[in-house]
């Protein structure tokens, strides 16, 4: 504009086009004149032809490509990820079941261990009692042997020709001594 006076030019278009331009300018927040000037600058600078719908076709093609990629990803998810996830879920459930079973087995083993310890204590006590009874039995046998020996010595001292009263007395003494054991 170097000091030159700008001459305005006019372009005539239909009322429908004017309504579209008015709506577009309102959406953009500009005047109709500014919107037209900016559109002309855009097409001039980008060297795009407004009649060329390839830009729109390119967008559609890119959109379709993205949709194909998304479909591929969703299909891969269905084919690979979901079965893997389901398998992982099943494995996790099995592990939980085995873990709970192992806890139950551990508790059962613990209870059995306590029972075995109690049984061992009882067996030890019974073994001690048995040993004590064996000692008592051997003492009893030794005492019985002494009694029989004493009986035999007393009988021999009396002789074979003893009276029945003396034999009965000796027999009663042996029985009495055996009862004392």
**4 pLDDT tier (thresholds 50, 70, 90):** low
64-113 residue pLDDT tens: 889 999 999 999 888 888 888 899 999 999 999 999 999 999 999 999 99
- Domain ranges for the chain, please list them: 13-52, 139-180
In this prediction, residue 50 carries a pLDDT of 74
The encoded tokens of residue 57 equal 């076709």
117-165 residue pLDDT tens: 999 999 999 999 999 999 988 888 888 888 877 877 777 777 666 677 7
Stated pTM of the model = 0.39
37-53 residue pLDDT tens: 998 898 888 877 777 76
In this prediction, residue 131 carries a pLDDT of 94
Rg of the chain in Å (alpha carbons): 60
């Amino acid at each position: 504009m170097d000091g030159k006076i700008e001459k305005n030019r006019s372009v005539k278009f239909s009322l429908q086009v004017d309504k579209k331009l008015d709506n577009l300018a309102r959406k953009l927040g500009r005047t109709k004149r500014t919107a037209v000037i900016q559109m002309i600058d855009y097409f001039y600078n980008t060297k795009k032809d407004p009649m060329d719908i390839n830009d729109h076709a390119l967008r559609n093609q890119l959109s379709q490509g993205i949709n194909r990629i998304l479909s591929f990803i969703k299909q891969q998810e269905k084919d690979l990820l979901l079965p893997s996830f389901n398998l992982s879920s099943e494995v996790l459930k099995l592990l939980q079941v085995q873990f709970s079973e192992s806890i139950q087995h551990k508790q059962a083993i613990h209870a059995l261990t306590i029972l075995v310890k109690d049984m061992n204590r009882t067996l030890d006590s019974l073994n001690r009692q048995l040993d004590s009874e064996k000692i008592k039995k051997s003492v009893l046998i030794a005492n019985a042997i002494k009694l029989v020996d004493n009986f035999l010595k007393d009988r021999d001292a009396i002789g074979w020709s003893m009276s029945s009263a003396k034999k009965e007395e000796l027999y009663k003494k042996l029985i009495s001594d055996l009862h004392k054991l």
